[in-house]
Structure 1
Amino acid sequence: MIRTLDADLLEAWDALALATGAPVFARPGWLRAWATAFGRLDDLRALTVHRGGELVAVLPVVGGRAAVRTPVNSETAMIVPVVADGDAAAELAQLLLARRAGVVDLDAVLADDPLTTQVRRTRNPVHATVRCRSPYVDTSGEVDAYLATLSKSRRKEVRRRERRLEEMGELTFEMDHGTGDDLGARLEEGFRLEAREWKLAAGSAIVSSPARVAFYTAGARWAAEQGVLRLAALRVDGHAFASGYCLEQSGTLHFLKLGMDDAYAKYGPGLMINLRMIEHAFARSDLDTFDMLGEFEPYKADLTGTVREQHRLRVYPTPVVGGVQRAATAAAGDLRRAVVARLSAPTRERLLAIKNRLQR
């Protein structure tokens, strides 16, 4: 059943997410911060499965009797259905696919998620695309063994850059839980570092959008209350030149937003703060994964070769109509990718800036 988010459901949902070790992004508090900031709170619903009166599966959705989709925009890290077990995932998929009045649009779901696997088995036409390939590091072993997998030249270069920074002053790394009175100041510092010149030009910086500022501020305050917020910083004599907005839960440190001072670009602050957080995760016995999120960018490829795919699945209501819709969607996607590939980088940035302004 699709339900509105009353207090009883929110409590049961959060309890199920914690009990099953779901990622922090599956918790309703984080999703409500997103929905409130982007004006979607009234649209946010939950598709639920109960067994013996107990909640055993929940999927956040928006939409109504026709199309149903997951609540996704450019600031969505991932969508994770919360399920108690495999049977609950199968029941959730059956309930979802029984809604034959329109398209089911599952975006930002993990390729190996139990619900994703179940949905792929439907006889209805399904159009699947890769949303992103997010890199991660398994931090359950020994840090020295991991560092040995990095290229020798890369390790030497990082050490050389650290020595040059230490010549400028005391080089420190910190991981703050956001529980002090200075949370607002720490967030402003991170937002300032994240607002690099090219991101401001493209309109993709957090501060370029009041909705983004509201989301990451409300999300941080909720996360701090729940004990899952982590704000990382690299400093020289107290001056922050790299920052990380992170969430930690269920053995995983998720790295959402990177900030850096471009005046320090020659020192590789992005690579440096990632390495410090990876070493931090290895040093913690309760952390087994460092999740970089986002796309598999070149600097991330220097640190790991393992990725998790996020998919977008569109399930169409009938084989005949759905087949036509699926073919049209695939053709449009191929055409769009071909056009974008032929554009110059400045043109793509200008188009992105226009898109972001329209979204605001």
Structure 2
Amino acid sequence: MDTSEISVYRPGELSGADRAAWTAVQSQAPIWGAPQLANPFLAPEFALAIGRCRRGVRIAVIREDGVPAAFLPFQRSAMGVGRAIGLGVSDAQGLVHRPGFQWDARELLHACRLSVLEFDHLVADQKPFEEWPLTSHPSPVMDLEQGFEAYLGQVRKHSPRFVRGTRAKERRLRRDVGELRYVHDERDPQMLRTLIGWKSAQYRRTGRSDRFAHAWIVHLAEQLFHTRTATFAGLLSVLYAGDRPVAAHFGLRSERVLTCWFPAYDTTYAKYSPGLVLHLRMAEAAAADSMAYIDLGRGEKQYKNSLKTRELLVSEGWVMRRHPVALCHRARRAPVRALRNTVVSRPELFTPADRLLKRMGRIRSIR
């Protein structure tokens, strides 16, 4: 980055021109072969929303000959420990950059006053960050580039019983509960609150940590629900049977990518698999909106295996400078991350652990 200039801003300091340049880089990324950079989690709107909910958010803008060439949103602690923007709730992280842009990771960390920068969903082809050992994980995708019928044809090839079974449950839901109505872009904020209630109950029921017990995540979802630009929006999709909502999903969309973020359903109708019905309706509507794919997000789930047609790769780990804080951070975080990944990747460990979490969730629900 010999001819580059790195400036670091608080979210409110980012100029309109820089935001427009960032959006333009994302819009053009699929054209020059980097569709992973078009993910809405890498958009300026997401970074600015996090900045309104969390402290320490910064945005590095790298200019070449005075022109913005790359953007890195991150969160920084007082000790210089950096985290990818929205670490823990974001499904795509990394440097958003123009084609052919090269950068030096250590120089970038130094300019950002970071000793270490942690990722858990680093997108592919971030070569300067890959100098450090990173662990890659599949992130399943519903590919809609050729349209919904082409997508459905691919799913039928590898999982014909899944499609038949889901369609049969959809018919039974219509017969038993009422005519189905799908709203791809529901604007009623009360429905968002309903979804948050369902998702919180699901977290507790399955023994997972309830993300919506954190006020800042509720605030983030509400902000993004009301964020709408030509290239970005928070999208709430709802499946109704009769006049009753039975499944819903809140995610983010860019021009070409829809992310699967918070899906949930009313457990009263669990036998009809309304969540799966919803996902197929989402795919049909997203294809009609010219979305290239729905990113289901990293994580091993049976429904993702049934819906996916291919996989992306995301990585987790650290990029570091030689600094005592960086070494201490890695020593503290690495064992926990390694243990979790070992359990998740090995069915003989994950299955009993998952059963135990669900048992604890049932006990917690009774209390």
Bin the TM-score by the shorter chain.
0.7 to 0.9
Which of 302, 307, 312 is matched with 1:303 structurally?
Answer: 307
SS at structure 2 position matched to 1:141: coil
Deviation at 1:337, TM superposition (A): 5.2
User: Where in structure 2 are the equivalents of 1:1-360 lying within 5 Å?
Assistant: 1-5=6-10, 7=12, 9-20=14-25, 21=27, 22-37=38-53, 39-40=54-55, 43-63=56-76, 66-87=80-101, 90-91=102-103, 93=105, 95-96=107-108, 103-113=115-125, 116-121=126-131, 126-130=132-136, 132-149=137-154, 150=156, 151-168=159-176, 169-176=178-185, 178=187, 182=188, 184-199=189-204, 202=207, 204-223=209-228, 228-284=233-289, 286-318=290-322, 333-335=337-339, 341=349, 344-345=353-354, 347-348=356-357
SS in 2 for 1:302: helix
CA contact (8 A) 1:101 1:317 kept: no
Identity level (%)? 23
Change (3 A) 1:94 1:349: same
Aligned AA (2:74): V
| Alignment gaps of 5+ in structure 1 | 354-360
Instruction: Write the deviation string for residues 253-300 of structure 1: whole angstroms up to 9, x where unpaired.
Output: 22211010111111112211111111222333x221112224131111
Q: Distance in 1 between matches of 2:359 and 2:51?
A: 27
CA RMSD of aligned residues (A): 3.5
The aligned length equals 336
1:348 Cα deviation from its structure 2 partner: 4.4
Structure 2 CA distance for partners of 1:203 and 1:10, relative to 1, 3 Å: farther
Could you state the TM-score of these two structures normalised by the residue count of structure 2?
0.78
Q: Distance in 1 between matches of 2:134 and 2:162?
A: 37
Gaps of 5+ in 2: 1-5, 28-37, 363-367
String of CA shifts for 1:29-52, please: whole Å, max 9, x gaps: 322322332x32xx1112221123
The one-letter code of the counterpart of 2:243 is: G
Q: Deviations over 1:85-109 (max 9, x none)?
A: 222xx13636325569864224034
Aligned to 2:33: none
* Residue aligning to 2:30: none
Post-superposition offset of 1:216 = 0.7
CA distance in structure 2 between the partners assigned to 1:322 and 1:104 by the alignment:
5
Deviation at 1:232, TM superposition (A): 0.7
> Is the contact made by 1:137 and 1:306 (CA closer than 8 Å) also made in structure 2?
yes
Asked whether the 8 Å contact 1:12–1:55 carries over to 2, the reply is no
Equivalent position amino acid for 2:171 in 1: R
**Structure 1 range deviating more: 233-242 or 28-37:** 28-37
Superimposed CA distance per residue, residues 151-176 of structure 1 (whole angstroms, 9 cap, x where no aligned partner): 33222212211111111311111112
Aligned partners of 1:311, 1:278: CA distance in 2, in Å? 26
How much has 1:27 moved relative to structure 2? Answer: 2.7
Contact 2:186 2:238 in 1 (8 A): no
- Structure 1: which amino acid aligns with 2:24? A
* Residues 55, 242 of structure 1: alpha-carbon distance in 2 compared, 3 angstrom cutoff: same
Answer whether contact 1:49 1:91 (CA < 8 A) is retained. Answer: no
Question: Cα–Cα, structure 1 residues 305 and 147, in superposed 2: closer, same or farther, change >3 Å?
Answer: closer
Indicate how the Cα distance of structure 1 residues 15 and 145 shifts in structure 2: closer, same or farther if over 3 A, else same.
same
Provide TM-score, normalisation by structure 1. 0.79
Contact 1:13 1:28 (8 Å CA) reproduced: no
Post-superposition offset of 1:15: 0.9
Secondary structure (helix, strand or coil) at the match of 1:229 reads strand
- Per-residue displacement from partner, 1:73-125 (whole Å, max 9, x unpaired)? 322232242212222xx136363255698642240343414xx212224xxxx
Distance 1:26 1:324 in 2: 28
Contact 1:191/1:206, CA 8 A, preserved across alignment: no
- Map Cα deviations across residues 317-355 of structure 1 (whole Å, 9 max, x no partner): 3499999997897566445656884874365469999xx
CA contact (8 A) 2:83 2:117 kept: yes
